[in-house]
Amino acid sequence: MKRLIKNALIINEGRSFRGAVLTDGAFISRVYEGDEADHDVGNAEIIDAEGKWLLPGVIDDQVHFREPGLTHKGSIATESRAAAAGGVTSFMDMPNTKPQTTTVAELEWKFQRAAETSAVNYSFFFGGTNDNFDEIARLDRRRVPGLKLFLGSSTGNMLVDSREALRRIFSETDLLVAIHAEKEEIIRRNRAYYIEKYGEDALDVTFHPKIRSEEACYASSSEAVELAHELGTRLHLLHVSTAKELALLDNKLPLAEKRITSETCVHYLWFSDDDYPVYGNKIKWNPAIKTAADRAALRRAVNNNTIDIVATDHAPHLMSEKEGNCLSAASGGPLIQHSLPLMLELAAQGVFTKEKVVEKMAHQPAELFRIDRRGYIREGYYADLVLVDPQREWRVSPENILYHCGWSPLEGQIFRNFVFLTLVNGNLVYKNGKMIENVKGMALTFG
């Protein structure tokens, strides 16, 4: 099917210009500048985008869609629908499910499940452990974005705490290695200190960034960066949350030449530790949200390209699982439906430009992970497109939340932009608050 999206403000590759985009099947066939599109568009469906912005679909490199084994929190089907409603057209899911994605068989199960149920495009990180080298060697690098290693506390067998295993993974794989970096020994020490000083029952969420501290993040990140430099590993630091870690990163090299890359998440750019008394456990993540000074430094790092991409670490839990103190309440929260509106709201506030938002959420993820023909509005690329109404205010409420868990830390927030329409591979999957059923995404391909 052909579609002509005309009269849009196209935001792409650092520019904003009035134009039109013609899609044909799964691909973009023409990009026009100005008011005039070619008359030779055949029987294309016409979408008049007057007053709206046309963006490439968001690519989120870090989500936890909870399938298999944790589907009371969410599933590939439910969370991919929320993604589409938020303008996210591709996701990369993490391996800490039940069972964990640490064997090729478990990876293949996820791919099959996504093919059956995902409304948007998909791929899956493979989990590295202390002892699954043989499984890592069997991976098809064109199908997976990389390995995920937990260097801080995790569940089951996902904590890589053997120095020998870490060196072997860093030296023997040509895959990108993405890490959750928090130093377990420091976390344990901090936890013991605060329990002894105040008692466990007194440790509300305000103690969370004290236990999972800046020191815990930097110690782990710096060790990983040092090892990656030594062994030539392609290292990707996930969810950078502190100003101190930025010293480990380079903003002088172009992305294509970087061996050490990084991501921060929308919650670190929006919230600070001043918000814990207001939101409580709803904003409890690992790593913890840090200070307003850290937030300001991360915002600068996005603007000056020290930080390469912005994602969500979308990790839904039931509200009942978020109850308790900072030791017992679940860490993580749902964000993927609201990440693009949040970033465009920050652009409206002057924190970023809308062009920078598109760069960090679409262009740079495509480049960093070498994704085949996605992340840009270009002729010959997949038609993953998002139409945003920049003048339409709306309030986040339970009535418009699509997460399976049914809540958002952003409830009550008014955004001044509205995701109006989402195309995935040229297929209309979401329009004006309504999902289009029975539309399926595709597996991503990596170069």
Q: Which amino acid, 148?
A: K
Q: From CA 18, how far away is CA 36, in angstroms rounded?
A: 10
What pLDDT, on the 0 to 100 scale, is given for residue 263? 98
pLDDT surpasses 80 at 67? yes
Q: From CA 19, how far away is CA 50, in angstroms rounded?
A: 10
**DSSP per residue, 206-261:** GGHHHHS-HHHHHHHHHHHHHHHHHHT--EEE-S---SGGGGG--SSS-GGG-SEE
pLDDT surpasses 90 at 38? no
Q: From CA 48, how far away is CA 113, in angstroms rounded?
A: 35
Mean pLDDT, all residues of the chain:
96
pLDDT surpasses 60 at 407? yes
CB 411 within 8 A of CB 398: yes
Q: Which of 92, 66, 175 is nearest to 128 (CA)?
A: 175
Per DSSP, 101 falls in state S
445 burial type by CB count under 10 A (0-12 exposed, 13-18 middle, 19+ buried): middle
For 125-168, write each residue's pLDDT tens digit: 999 999 999 999 999 999 999 999 988 655 556 778 788 888 99
**What number is the average pLDDT over the span 315-340?**
98
CB 30 within 8 A of CB 22: yes
pLDDT surpasses 60 at 399? yes
Q: How many CB atoms lie within 10 A of CB 285?
A: 22
CB 210 within 8 A of CB 268: no
pLDDT surpasses 60 at 27? yes
Q: Which amino acid, 198?
A: Y
For 352-391, write each residue's pLDDT tens digit: 999 999 999 999 999 999 999 999 999 999 999 999 999 9
What pLDDT, on the 0 to 100 scale, is given for residue 409? 98
Length of the chain, in residues: 447
What pLDDT, on the 0 to 100 scale, is given for residue 163? 83
What pLDDT, on the 0 to 100 scale, is given for residue 368? 98
**DSSP per residue, 162-215:** -HHHHHHHHHH--S-EEEE---HHHHHHHHHHHHHHH-GGG--GGGHHHHS-HH
Paired tokens of 420: 């109006």
pLDDT surpasses 80 at 48? yes
CB 8 within 8 A of CB 21: yes
Percent of the chain clearing pLDDT 90 (strictly above): 93
Collapse the DSSP code of 424 into the 3-class scheme (helix H, G, I; strand E, B; otherwise coil) and give the result. Answer: strand
Q: From CA 254, how far away is CA 236, in angstroms rounded?
A: 15
Distances (CA, A) of 42 to 34, 39, 123, 136, 384: 20, 8, 34, 48, 21
Q: Which amino acid, 141?
A: R
- Which helix (H) or strand (E) segment holds residue 341: the answer is helix 339-348
Q: What is the CA radius of gyration of the chain?
A: 21
Provide the strand spans (E) within 44-186: 45-48, 53-56, 58-63, 88-93, 121-124, 126-127, 147-150, 177-180
CB 84 within 8 A of CB 120: yes
CB 59 within 8 A of CB 305: no
What pLDDT, on the 0 to 100 scale, is given for residue 41? 84
Catalytic residues: 313
261 burial type by CB count under 10 A (0-12 exposed, 13-18 middle, 19+ buried): buried
- Which helix (H) or strand (E) segment holds residue 419: the answer is strand 418-424
Q: From CA 322, how far away is CA 342, in angstroms rounded?
A: 22
For 279-317, write each residue's pLDDT tens digit: 999 999 999 999 999 999 999 999 999 999 999 999 999
For 230-284, write each residue's pLDDT tens digit: 999 999 999 999 999 999 999 999 999 999 999 999 999 999 999 999 999 999 9
What pLDDT, on the 0 to 100 scale, is given for residue 156? 56
Q: From CA 61, how far away is CA 122, in angstroms rounded?
A: 10
Q: How many CB atoms lie within 10 A of CB 194?
A: 18
Collapse the DSSP code of 124 into the 3-class scheme (helix H, G, I; strand E, B; otherwise coil) and give the result. Answer: strand
Per DSSP, 286 falls in state S
